Each structure stands twice: as C-alpha cells, then as structure tokens.
Structure 1
Amino acid sequence: MGASTSSLPAGELDRISIESGLSKQSVLTLYKRFLQLTTHREKDSGQYFLTKEDFLNIEELRLNPLGVRIIDAFFADAEVGEREKVYFYDFVKVLSHFRPINKNKPHLWNTREAKLRFAFTMYDLNKSETITKDEFKNILQMMIGSNVSEDQVNSIADRTMREADKDNDGYITFQEFCHAMEKTDIEQKMSFHFLA
C-alpha cells in the first residue's frame, strides 16, 4: 500500500506551511505519511488522494470506536459539502486542528473555537448543526462500548442534555456546546505535540 516516494514542490510546501501554521518539517512529515496511506493518483494532475477505504485500512482507525467519525471529519467540508477524495491540502487542514495553540502566533485553523467546532462535528452525526440526545447517546455508546448498561448511558445522556441544553429545546447548539466546554482545556486535549 502507498504511493511511491515523491517530493512536495517547494512552492506548495511554503504555501501549506503558511496556511496551516505548521513548520515545513511537520508538513513534510505529514506528506510522507500521506504518501504511505494513498493508493490513488489523479490521471490529469498527478495529485495523490485518499478515499474512505484508504482510511479504513489504517488499523488504529479501524480499532478506534470513534474511527468512523474521525474518518468522516476528513470528508466533511463546510465549503463543498461532502467530498469523496482527500488531497494532501485537505489532509493537512484537518490535522492542523490538532497542533498546539501558540498564543503568540494565532492561526485561523487552530483556535479554541476551531477545535471546539471540530469536536462538535464529532457529535453532530446528521450534520444538522445541533446535537440531539440520541446523537450524544450514540457517540457515548461508541466510546464506552458494552462496559456500561443502556440505563446508565441514558442517565448520562439525560444529565448532559439537562446541563448543556440551556434553552430546553431538546438540542445542543454550538454555542451551548461551547458554554458546556468552558472549563475544559480543549487546547491541550486536542493537541499532538509532534505537530509544530
């Protein structure tokens, strides 16, 4: 599996480094991993891309209870809707959400709000811009598996909805989600320190 070694053109490396806020070395590391994962290349442009099947071939994602939700994050794009192919730029854009935040050099793709938005999409299964109790229960069940009874999962979901759904409309909006996460150090919890 994986494409043959190829180098990222210097102009592309510079552009992606600037746009993502990642160092050139981090971009090159991600490019090397991207090439290891991909088995597809556009005939016209020669660009490599990943499909959902490529992501499903990654053992860590296959074994992760939230693997499907993580994979979906790579294929969701507010600007184009659901995409079928993930090019290197798209790959970096998603992963840049996991870069530690540098308060001295703020970056649009890697703010507290961007991290919260990314986390919110993991729960918003139907992409309605809200989280329902059923969506929360589904994600909770994925995370804990059969270790907790259905009654306990329902109890946790009920309590979470009561605490987070401030206007009691049965949905958690992004604003309510942000409020519920106020005391959570999302900047650290959603950071891979190898991405600099």
Structure 2
Amino acid sequence: MLSVEIFKYCNFKKSVLIGSPCRMGCLCLRKSASYPSVPQDIMNTLKKNTALSRSQIKYLYIRFYQFSGGGKEPPSHLHKYNFYSGLLQLNPLLPTILNSMFGDKVKITFLDFAMFLSTFQAHSLKTSNELKNAMMDKKLKLIFNMYDNNKDGRITRYDLVIVVHKLFSNLLDHVQIMRIVDSMMKEMDYSDSNQILFADFCKALECFDMTEMMVTRIPEFHGRTTDELQ
C-alpha cells in the first residue's frame, strides 16, 4: 500500500529527533561525563504512563538538554527554534513533526517531548496490552495530525501535496507527485468525500499491527547523572 510506505518514510525522518547525537551536530553522550538528572516526579509520571525504562528516560532528558544548547542548568522548556540545529535542520519534515509535537503550544516541557516520542517507541514483552492499545490510538492521532496541515480534522488533497512535496520534491516532478497524491486519496478515502477523515485513516491502516509499525527504538543511557555523583 503506497500510503503505508509514505508513512514508513515519515517515521524514518521523525526518528532523527532521537538518533545519534553526533549525527545531529549535538554534544556526544560520553559515559565519562556527567549529565543533569531527571526530576523524580517527572520520572514517576513517565514510568506510570509510558513503557519507557528509567535509562531511556535519562537518555531523552539528556537529548532535551542538548537541544537547549547544553547550558549549566537543564531547560524547563524548549521552543521550535531549538530543534533547528545540526543535520536535523535539513530534515524536510521537521516543521511537520514539530507542529504535531507542539500542537497549539508555543513551548514544550520535557514531559511533552518524552510523551510524544514514547508514542512511537518499540514495545517490549513487559508492555501491557492496555498500554499498547492506548499508545496505538495516540499514534494514529499523531500521525493523522502530521498530515492534517491546518488541523481541521481532515486530510485534503492539498494536505497530501504539501507532505509528498516535502519528501520527494528533489526526486520527482509535479506530475509524479500528483500521481502519488491521487493514489493515496484513492486508497484511503473510504467515505468517498474527496478527503480523508480520521475514521478513513484508521480503516486504511487497520489491517496492520500499528503497535509494531512505525516504531522508533529509543536508546538507553548508562552513564552518570549529577545526582549519582553526589
């Protein structure tokens, strides 16, 4: 299914928010260095509401800290401009991903950042079915919102053109891009309304195990944090 292949490609583009710090032009995660510790209340919230391990939460907290520029104190929040650094700023889908992550917020906290990325986390055998289902529903809504450019609750042909153009404008001409858009509309417009509603979107993907598709493997951090040095 063409639409699913596009979604997979989008997930690859999204994963660079997590991936190799050196690739990102950020600070390296050296085990010999010390990093800020995750506040205990945030650690408890994420352990309760996600399948993230303590070491994965530590890793994401350090990534959040690095996006701020790596100052003396960990930041309380980040703005969109903080993510335009290193190779990440070359990602054509970065604005789309950030719009989905930020929603209508001007700035996000670490909890917002970690909750967003945990939605796409690869599950382990310890993950409960209840949490898997909750994450699957949230994942579908977030991916839908990545395509819903003006956030009006529907994906129009124009919305698809924007995303496909961002992905393939350097590889395909306008005619080829429109053919892809037409194919996606034909595959997913179950309501026959010349637009893709959320129900259409879910129906198009219901034959796939969304708990196993479009996942991102979040690394674990086993170095030292400031609290552990005291």
Q: TM-score by structure 2 length?
A: 0.71
- Whichever residue aligns with residue 35 of structure 1, its letter is Y
Q: What SS does the aligned partner of 2:164 have? A: helix
What is the distance in 1 between the residues matched to 2:133 and 2:76?
23
What is the aligned counterpart of 1:9 among 39, 58, 66?
A: 39
Q: Is 1:126 paired with 2:156? A: no
Give the ranges of 4+ consecutive aligned residues of structure 1 lying more than 3 Å apart after TM superposition.
Answer: 101-104, 183-186
RMSD across aligned positions (CA):
2.6
- 1:112 aligned to 131, 136, 141, which one? 136
SS in 2 for 1:188: coil
Superposition pairs of residues 125-144 of structure 1, within 5 angstroms: 125-144=149-168
Q: Give the alignment of 1:155-194 within 5 angstroms.
A: 155-194=179-218
What residue identity is the alignment partner of 1:56?
Y
Question: Of 92, 95, 105, which residue of structure 2 is paired with 1:68?
Answer: 95
Among candidates 91, 98, 115, match of residue 93 of structure 1 = 115
1:63-110 deviations in Å (ceiling 9; x for gaps):
11211111112211xxxxx11111111111101111123575132785
Q: Which amino acid aligns with 1:71?
A: L
Confirm or deny: 8 A CA contact 2:132 2:211 kept in the other structure.
Answer: no
- Match of 1:134, SS state, is helix
* SS of match in other structure, 2:92: coil
1:65/1:143 contact within 8 Å kept:
yes
- Structure-to-structure mapping, 1:40-59, within 5 angstroms: 48-59=76-87
Aligned pairs, number:
185
Cα distance in 2 for partners of 1:113, 1:13 equals 23
Contact 2:68–2:75 (CA under 8 A) maintained in structure 1: no
**2:55 maps to 1:25:** yes
SS of the aligned residue for 1:186 comes to coil
Distance 1:180 1:154 in 2: 20
Stretches of structure 2 lacking an aligned partner (at least 5 in a row): 1-25, 28-33, 221-230
Equivalents in 2 of 1:183, 1:129: separation in Å? 22
Which residue identity does 1:66 align to in structure 2?
L
- Structure 1: gaps of 5 or more residues: 77-81
Moved more, 99-108 or 178-187: 99-108
1:33 CA drift (Å): 1.2
